């Protein structure tokens, strides 16, 4: 029997790329499989190198809210590309995208484009430190804010997937000013503030945790963080790289009616292309160079192709406002999955906020990093493999979020649930 092309491509990739992948979670190690090499994708569907079709619940880790290769996005990219792929100089497109973001996020009075979520959060933290003239930051166990050195302390995402609490190559000195507290635990935050309050520059949080699996904020948690930051003149940073324009036009800030001082964005605002942004109160953002003392720069920031794609997506979201429809579809999927799991041995718990969700293979509730870590990753691997074999693609990690797009249909939901109902755990 001929070897699958996916496997051939993987064997070739490891000859030139560490682990054969350019991001660890793509390795599929956590689900005991080989990487999936994509040939093409359209709407809710993805096709691998062997021609297998999948209903895709990864959707580029939430970036493709309109699904893969949406005609509006493809057309915008094509029109921009023929004019030039990058200039290293300003274009009107950057301002147009910025104005759309400001329209959705009232807390953002000025913003700057960057090239990734990692860069956005790294820059926002530097800005908070420069503005407050303080060094320490508070972050939460299991929340992932990119791979900059000071934030790889008790981070989520791939680090949780692979059981790594920190990363080699990061000196203790880089994380010595990072104070770690449990997510959804205001008392723990207050205890740290009581000890270090005058030295704390910012509190950095995913308003809806999505990198240890989806975990919503407890009632009063975000409001409490807002009050604590106000009491010590610290900067509240919401990492909305995943939730921005995904949960609502105004992200988690709109959903929970809590404003951040600084907001980081990514994923959706680039239409599936590499992008990030950070913005917030005018007096803070004006501390950035060239007008202020905090340096930040990027040759490719505000790239015209990326900006064009982002404008196309955000205009669609403003005009069509598809959130009720996509959230309702996600609710139907959640309900049907819950009912199907009742007839399958083992404990499962589903957390969902809007169109993003996680199936935890443990007895719930899952409210923080420690309860998420109770999940049976071996059981999730069996589930993932069975679904993949049935043409359903969930994230290759227990600790990542699944996403719906506007391209998913009720037929996709029925196909997914039918695959779960037919899952034989003993195979």
Asked if 144 is an active-site residue, the reply is yes
The one catalytic residue among 45, 144, 183, 323: 144
The separation between CA 344 and the C-alpha centre of its own chain, rounded to angstroms, equals: 30
Q: Which of 386, 320, 235 is nearest to 65 (CA)?
A: 320
What Å distances lie between residue 384 and 70, 181, 356, CA to CA?
27, 31, 17
The one catalytic residue among 48, 56, 239, 261: 239
For the chain, how far is it from start to end, CA to CA, in angstroms? 22
The one catalytic residue among 139, 259, 267, 373: 267
φ and ψ of 386, to 5 deg: -65, -40
Strand order across the 356-360 sheet: 349-353, 356-360, 402-403
Strand order across the 276-280 sheet: 110-114, 276-280, 262-265, 235-239, 200-205, 136-140, 178-181
- Please tell me the distance from the alpha carbon of residue 252 to that of residue 206, in angstroms, as a whole number: 9
Asked if 256 is an active-site residue, the reply is no
The dihedral region occupied by 32, where left means phi > 0, alpha psi between -120 and 50, and beta the remainder, is left
Report the alpha-carbon angle 391-50-410, nearest 5. 25
CB 314 within 8 A of CB 251: no
Which residues belong to the active site? Answer: 144, 239, 267
């Amino acid at each position: 029997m001929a070897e699958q092309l996916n496997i051939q491509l993987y064997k070739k990739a490891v000859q030139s790329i560490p682990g054969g992948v350019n991001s660890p979670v793509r390795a599929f190690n956590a689900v005991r499989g080989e990487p999936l090499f994509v040939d093409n994708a359209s709407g809710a569907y993805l096709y691998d190198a062997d021609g297998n079709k999948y209903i895709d619940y990864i959707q580029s880790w939430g970036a493709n809210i309109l699904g893969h290769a949406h005609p509006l996005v493809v057309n915008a990219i094509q029109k921009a590309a023929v004019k030039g792929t990058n200039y290293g100089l300003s274009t009107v497109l950057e301002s147009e995208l910025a104005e759309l973001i400001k329209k959705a996020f009232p807390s953002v009075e000025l913003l700057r484009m960057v090239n990734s979520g990692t860069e956005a959060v790294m820059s926002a933290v530097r800005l908070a430190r420069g503005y407050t003239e303080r060094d320490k930051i508070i972050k939460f166990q299991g929340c992932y804010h990119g791979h900059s050195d000071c934030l790889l302390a008790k981070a989520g995402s791939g680090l949780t997937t692979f059981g790594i609490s920190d990363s080699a190559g990061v000196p203790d000195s880089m994380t010595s000013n990072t104070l770690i507290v449990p997510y959804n635990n205001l008392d723990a935050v207050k205890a740290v503030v009581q000890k270090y309050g005058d030295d704390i520059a910012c509190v950095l949080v995913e308003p809806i945790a999505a990198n240890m699996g989806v975990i919503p904020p407890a009632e009063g948690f975000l409001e409490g963080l807002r009050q604590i930051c106000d009491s010590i003149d610290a900067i509240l940073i919401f990492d909305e790289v995943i939730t921005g324009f995904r949960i609502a036009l105004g992200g988690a800030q709109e959903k929970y009616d809590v404003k951040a001082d600084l907001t980081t964005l990514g994923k959706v605002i680039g239409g599936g292309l590499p992008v990030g942004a950070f913005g917030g109160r005018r007096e803070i953002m004006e501390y950035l160079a060239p007008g202020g003392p905090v340096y930040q720069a990027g040759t490719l920031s505000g790239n015209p192709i990326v900006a064009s794609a982002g404008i196309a997506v955000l205009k669609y979201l403003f005009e069509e406002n598809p959130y009720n429809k996509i959230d309702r579809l996600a609710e139907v999927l959640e309900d049907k999955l819950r009912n199907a799991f009742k007839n399958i041995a083992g404990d499962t718990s589903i957390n969902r906020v809007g169109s993003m969700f996680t199936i935890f293979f443990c007895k719930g509730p899952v409210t923080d990093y420690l309860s998420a870590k109770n999940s049976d990753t071996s059981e999730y691997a069996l589930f993932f493999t069975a679904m993949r074999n049935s043409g359903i693609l969930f994230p290759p990690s227990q600790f990542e979020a699944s996403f719906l797009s506007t391209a998913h249909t009720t037929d996709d939901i029925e196909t997914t649930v039918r695959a779960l109902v037919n899952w034989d755990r003993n195979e």
